[in-house]
Amino acid sequence: MKRVPWLIPTLYILFLMLPIYWLINMSFKTTNEILGSFTLWPRDFTFDNYIKIFTDPTWYNGYINSITYVVINTVLSVAVALPAAYAFSRYRFLGDKHLFFWLLTNRMAPAAVFALPFLQLYSAVGLFDTPIAVALAHTLFNIPLAVWILEGFMSGVPKELDETAYVDGYSFWGFFFKIFVPTIAAGIGVAAFFCFMFSWVELLLAKTLTSVAAKPIAATMTRTASTSGYELGLLAAAGTLTIVPGAFVIYFVRNYIAKGFALGRV
Amino acid sequence: MNKTVNQKAWFFVLPVVLLVAFNAIIPLMTVVNFSVQETFGDNVFFWAGVQWFEQVLQSPRFHAALGRQLLFTAIILLIEIPLGLAIALTMPRKGPWVSVCLVLMALPLLIPWNVVGAMWNIFALPDIGFLGRLINGLGIEYNYTRQPFSAWFTMVLMDVWHWTSLVVLLCYAGLVSIPDAYYQAAKVDGARPWAVFRYIQLPKLKYVLTIAILLRFMDSFMIYTEAVVLTGGGPGNATTFLSIDLQKIALGQFDLGPAGAMSIIYFLIILFFSWLFYTLMMKDEAR
Amino acid sequence: MAKITLQDIRHAYGPNPESDEDWALKKLSLDLADGGAYALLGPSGCGKTTLLNLISGLLTPTEGRILFDNADVTQASPEQRNIAQVFQFPVIYDTMTVYDNLAFPLRNRGIGEKEVDARVREIGKMLELDHMLNKRASGLTADGKQKISLGRGLVRSDVNVIMFDEPLTVIDPHLKWVLRSKLKELHHRIRRTMIYVTHDQTEALTFAEKVVVMKDGQIVQIGTPIELFEKPKHTFVGHFIGSPGMNLLPCTVEGGRAVFAGNPVAAANAAAYKGNGKVLEIGVRPEFVSFGAQGIPVDIVKVADAGRYRIVETRHQDHSIKLLVAEGLVLPTRQAHLQFDPAHTQIYEDGWMVS
């Protein structure tokens, strides 16, 4: 009976890896081989698809653009969320509960609702087709999430820590950066992880707000599919490469994943 | 925690409020604007009152999209929540395999949604995709580009593949936080495994299960990118869910009025159900 | 009710224990009489919780046997051994009422509802929970919840041993005393074997008939509170029990008498010293040191007022000696001399009392 539990996670992980394997499989094949025959591993193993992506600016710029706005967004979201979460955790003020609730409702807003209005808004302020636009647009969902996560972790730190620091002579900002932030470092890591995750995977707004200069990799992929008619090997390589940053990030936070998903509140 | 009253706290929340308001209020106002006005082009607008709302709420197209969306979300919740919980229960709690499990399970969550759609698009093709070949090879006729049922099947399978790990990780975090003493006491009391699940694990998982259900409800109700890349809403209208339909109307047909009205109705539906779920699940805590 | 015997028990948590540190419990044997009230006392990490879990069956020993009434239960589960355990923080089934919590162990064994009802009400009355039997268990205070935990153990009429793993940790200080008395009263009433793990000597000494003092995975001494106090077999016992702990002074033994820093000291066991030990010490509790006209000359360093008595710290050369004096005693102003009660002064060789 002890063996059976092991079976379930193993089967599940196999199920998860299968489509990913298929993608990687295709990325090392030529498009001819993909369309011409059905093989479980590449017959004519080739790096051509990857070489194309690394050498062609239209392709690798897509990655650079995507990483750019994701990083800007993560830094921005966490930076502004920190003081706000602190306020929610430590203070009561006029309208605090309603404010918190309003922030959370933004997470519930369908991106599709915002696509057209965002297009108009960001064009109006002249930010259309820049990474900043996407970074800012994503803060709509990421800031509430970051505030929620950080507030959970901060509430786990007793107020006595703050008071002790003041007695010891720290100014507020001295206390905040030298004592408080290190204490909730795990929470900041979790918040940053989720912000990275949601910004990296969200594509509707990213595509709507960009056209040429700040085009994310997703847009490049879809254009390739329609214009040059299904260069499958190339698409597969591009897709595989988008999995890499995510894999890196998870690997780094793997020890915090369990704690992090409880968002500090368990 | 004993919070002190301090109105100066507003300075702390100001950056957040400004950023979110910029992104939320102005666009929402635009949407509201569109929803109550009519235009014949050239930037000339007329007041239209609740005309668009009535039109949308009575349109068969909207009903159809809403119906498909409700069905899809219901199927998703019914599969992913119990499945995620079951997998979390069978995962090892300690030892070297834990990290490996968690990392591999989290991988689908970090793949850009268009790549998820593209992956499954090809994976499920009847001629060059592994899944497509497999199912057809078993003698079942399967082509998701032509058959609505196959399209639904593929869509659900893709979403389960994509998001179940979120439920697993949430439930796992909850399970890991249950102190050993509870399991020990249950052993001493002679409790059977089912009783342990029902009286110890399930109650302690209430909070994370609520988060899981809320998140999966909201995100599946808003599904767009992966669905569009997989089926484009087809064959025909078979998998045109609410977001897809909204996009067609707004950015495709540029019907701003109906799009605006539909957006508001859409948003309100999500808010309502989220509030409902949250209140129902958390009602025991408010004592 | 059962007599418990541990034979040559050794336990290690890791898979391949090699050196001494790998063993959480070094080899020990222990006999616990039926119906006794025992305390396992020692600092954190001394192995007392390990020992408790071995007795209850939550752990299986790496080596050795455990017997309940001469029946080998080494491989038996906690349920089979018929034990009850109360943990450090209250473990209750949140979704059930107090009544259902107490009934749970009985129902799991398939006992009929009428008997369940009788037992639950009886135990409820004993623990003063009877007026809240229908309340949700999660709504009780910490001490109420611990009572429920205790109740789940008592409700089985044939329970062999009840074990407590630092059960008063989360209880408010003013309630600790109430619960402690309740436990002792309970023991008198039902005469079941009770084993109480704690690092707090007050809890151990007030609850137990016999205390098992442990350190570093070994049993250092077993005795009644009085025995531990008056005749500590190890310097650790002398130092750990009593507040302040025993005075330990380096000494030598010459001609059958103990000598401390040039001063002869009469010790009860000086004659028994065979003489091979490396570290020799005199141990005498502050309670048995007093000022006298003659004796070891000391300077008074500090006087602390502890209410009904005072703790006086004195110095002789480099050594600090503490003694307790009554409230009203006038302290010597000029040269003070200390005398040790010979009957309560012992010589310790490498930590162990010479005998």
Q: What is the pLDDT of residues B115-148, one digit of tens each?
A: 898 889 888 888 888 888 888 888 888 888 888 9
Low-confidence stretches of chain C (pLDDT < 50) are: none
| Contact (CB, 8 A) for C25 and C47 | yes
Give the C-alpha separation, B242 to B219, whole Å: 12
Nearest CA of chain C to the CA of B186: how many Å? 9
Please give the class, per CATH, of domain C4-236: alpha beta
Per-residue confidence (pLDDT) for residue C175, from 0 to 100: 83
Mutate to test the interface with B, among A30, A53, A92, A116 (most CBs of B within 10 A): A116
Is the minimum CB–CB distance between B193 and chain C shorter than 8 Å?
no
Count how many residues are written for chain B: 287
Give the C-alpha separation, B121 to B141, whole Å: 17
Task: Report which of C220, C324, C201, C342 is spatially closest to residue C283, judged by C-alpha positions.
Answer: C342
How far, CA to CA in Å, does A232 sit from each of A58, B119, B122? 17, 11, 9
- Beta-carbon count within 10 A of C226 CB: 9
Of B6, B15, B174, the CB nearest to A91: B6
Of B184, B189, B192, the CB nearest to C105: B189
How, if at all, do strands C218-223 and C71-72 pair? unpaired
Mutate to test the interface with C, among B94, B184, B188 (most CBs of C within 10 A): B188
| Contact (CB, 8 A) for B270 and A110 | yes
Of B12, B164, B173, the CB nearest to A87: B12
Of C56, C109, C139, the CB nearest to B188: C56
Give the C-alpha separation, C18 to B105, whole Å: 37
Query: Per the CB < 8 Å rule, is C91 touching B181?
Result: yes
Give the C-alpha separation, C191 to C201, whole Å: 23
Task: Report which of A241, A240, A204 is spatially closest to residue B227, judged by C-alpha positions.
Answer: A204
Query: Per the CB < 8 Å rule, is A258 touching B1?
Result: no
| Contact (CB, 8 A) for B220 and B277 | no
Q: What is the pLDDT of residues A187-206, one digit of tens each?
A: 888 888 889 988 998 888 88
Task: Report which of C16, A24, C154, A90 is spatially closest to residue B107, judged by C-alpha positions.
Answer: A24
Q: Classify C67 as helix, strand or coil.
A: strand
| Contact (CB, 8 A) for C212 and C41 | yes
Of B181, B195, B200, the CB nearest to C87: B181
| Contact (CB, 8 A) for C24 and C47 | yes
Query: Per the CB < 8 Å rule, is B189 touching C109?
Result: no
- With 70 as the cut, is the pLDDT of residue A258 above it? no
Query: Per the CB < 8 Å rule, is B90 touching A8?
Result: yes
Centroid of chain to Cα C161: 17
Give the C-alpha separation, A41 to B135, whole Å: 19
In chain B, residues with a C-beta closer than 8 Å to the C-beta of A22 are 119, 122-123, 129-130
In chain A, whose CA is at the least distance from the CA of B93? A258
| Contact (CB, 8 A) for C213 and C228 | yes
Of C85, C95, C96, the CB nearest to B188: C85
| Contact (CB, 8 A) for C233 and C221 | yes
Nearest CA of chain B to the CA of C116: how many Å? 14
CATH superfamily of B59-282: MetI-like (1.10.3720.10)
Of B19, B133, B250, the CB nearest to A143: B19
Sign of CA dihedral B223, B224, B229, B230: positive
Sign of CA dihedral C120, C126, C127, C129: positive
Label residue C164 left, alpha or beta by phi (over 0 means left) and psi (-120 to 50 means alpha).
beta
Label residue B28 left, alpha or beta by phi (over 0 means left) and psi (-120 to 50 means alpha).
alpha
Chains that touch C (3 or more CB pairs under 8 A): B
User: In the numeric block, which tokens belong to residue A227?
Assistant: 């214009």
How, if at all, do strands C345-349 and C352-353 pair? antiparallel
In chain B, whose CA is at the least distance from the CA of A94? B7
Question: CB under 8 Å to C205, separation ≥6 — which residues?
Answer: C39, C211, C225, C228, C241
- Beta-carbon count within 10 A of C172 CB: 12
Chains that touch B (3 or more CB pairs under 8 A): A, C
Is the minimum CB–CB distance between C153 and chain B shorter than 8 Å?
yes
- With 80 as the cut, is the pLDDT of residue B45 above it? no
Is the minimum CB–CB distance between C50 and chain B shorter than 8 Å?
no
| Contact (CB, 8 A) for A203 and A216 | yes
Label residue C44 left, alpha or beta by phi (over 0 means left) and psi (-120 to 50 means alpha).
beta
Per-residue confidence (pLDDT) for residue C69, from 0 to 100: 87
Give the C-alpha separation, B12 to A86, whole Å: 8
Residue type, B63: H
Whether the link from the prior residue into C244 is cis, omega within 30° of 0, is yes
Rg over alpha carbons for chain C, rounded to the nearest Å, is 24
Beta bridge partners of C298: C336
| pTM (2 d.p.) | 0.81
Whether the link from the prior residue into B235 is cis, omega within 30° of 0, is yes
Q: What is the pLDDT of residues A106-132, one digit of tens each?
A: 888 888 888 888 988 999 998 898 889
- Beta-carbon count within 10 A of A237 CB: 26
In chain C, residues with a C-beta closer than 8 Å to the C-beta of B184 are 58, 78, 85, 87, 91
What is the CA angle C321-C324-C328, rounded to 5? 135
Per-residue confidence (pLDDT) for residue B287, from 0 to 100: 35
Q: Where are the alpha helices (DSSP H) in C65-172?
A: 78-81, 98-108, 113-126, 142-154
In chain C, residues with a C-beta closer than 8 Å to the C-beta of B188 are 56, 58, 78-79, 83-85, 105, 153
- With 90 as the cut, is the pLDDT of residue A152 above it? no
Report all structural domains of chain A as residue ranges with CATH numbers, in order of start.
Answer: 1-46 (no CATH), 56-261 (1.10.3720.10)
Nearest CA of chain B to the CA of C13: how many Å? 14
Of C78, C96, C139, the CB nearest to B187: C78
Give the C-alpha separation, C211 to B237, whole Å: 79
How many interface pairs between B and C have CB atoms less than 8 angstroms apart?
52
In chain A, whose CA is at the least distance from the CA of B206? A266
Query: Per the CB < 8 Å rule, is B130 touching A22?
Result: yes
The half-sphere exposure of C354 on its side-chain side, counting CA atoms within 13 A, is 27
Residue type, C16: N
Per-residue confidence (pLDDT) for residue B284, from 0 to 100: 55
Query: Per the CB < 8 Å rule, is B110 touching A243?
Result: yes
Decide: residue B143, CB within 10 A, 0-12 exposed, 13-18 middle, 19+ buried: middle
Of B190, B199, B203, the CB nearest to C105: B190
Mutate to test the interface with B, among C55, C94, C135, C156 (most CBs of B within 10 A): C94
Query: Per the CB < 8 Å rule, is C94 touching B203?
Result: yes
Contacts 24+ apart (CB under 8 A), B32-38: B32/B260, B32/B264, B33/B260, B34/B256, B34/B257, B34/B259, B34/B260, B34/B261, B35/B257, B35/B260, B35/B261, B35/B263, B35/B264, B36/B260, B37/B257, B38/B257
Query: From 2.60.120.10, 3.90.1640.10, 3.80.30.20, 2.40.50.140, which CATH number describes the C243-353 domain?
Result: 2.40.50.140
Give the C-alpha separation, C355 to C343, whole Å: 14
Confidence tier at A266 by pLDDT (50, 70, 90): very low
Decide: residue B57, CB within 10 A, 0-12 exposed, 13-18 middle, 19+ buried: middle
Sheet holding C161-165, edge to edge: C83-86, C161-165, C193-198, C37-41, C210-215, C218-223
- With 80 as the cut, is the pLDDT of residue B2 above it? no
Q: What is the pLDDT of residues B64-102, one digit of tens each?
A: 999 999 999 999 999 999 999 999 999 888 778 888 888
Per-residue confidence (pLDDT) for residue A227, from 0 to 100: 46
In chain A, residues with a C-beta closer than 8 Å to the C-beta of B13 are 83-84, 87-88, 99
ipTM value greater than 0.95: no
Query: Per the CB < 8 Å rule, is A16 touching B107?
Result: yes
Q: What is the pLDDT of residues A210-249, one digit of tens each?
A: 888 888 888 788 766 554 456 788 888 888 888 888 888 8
- With 60 as the cut, is the pLDDT of residue A19 above it? yes
Task: Report which of B263, B276, B273 is spatially closest to residue B65, judged by C-alpha positions.
Answer: B263
- Beta-carbon count within 10 A of B79 CB: 16
| Interface A:B, ≥3 CB–CB pairs < 8 Å | yes
Q: Which residue shows structure tokens 């609850």?
A: C207
User: Can you give the residue ranges of every domain in chain B?
Assistant: 59-282
Query: Per the CB < 8 Å rule, is B173 touching A158?
Result: no
Chains that touch A (3 or more CB pairs under 8 A): B
Query: What is the average pLDDT value for chain A, to the nearest integer?
Result: 84
Q: What is the pLDDT of residues B147-169, one digit of tens each?
A: 899 999 999 999 999 999 999 98
Give the C-alpha separation, C39 to A220, whole Å: 73
Q: Please compute the mean of the pLDDT values over residues B111-115 and round it to a whole number.
A: 89
What is the CA angle C301-C236-C292, rounded to 5? 35
Question: CB under 8 Å to B129, separation ≥6 — which residues?
Answer: A22, B122, B123
Q: What is the pLDDT of residues A70-107, one digit of tens each?
A: 999 999 999 999 999 999 988 888 888 888 888 888 88
**What H or E segment, with its residue span, contains residue A235?**
helix A232-253
Give the C-alpha separation, A63 to A54, whole Å: 10
User: Can you give the residue ranges of every domain in chain C?
Assistant: 4-236, 243-353
Task: Report which of A58, A82, A265, C15 is spatially closest to residue B173, judged by C-alpha positions.
Answer: A265
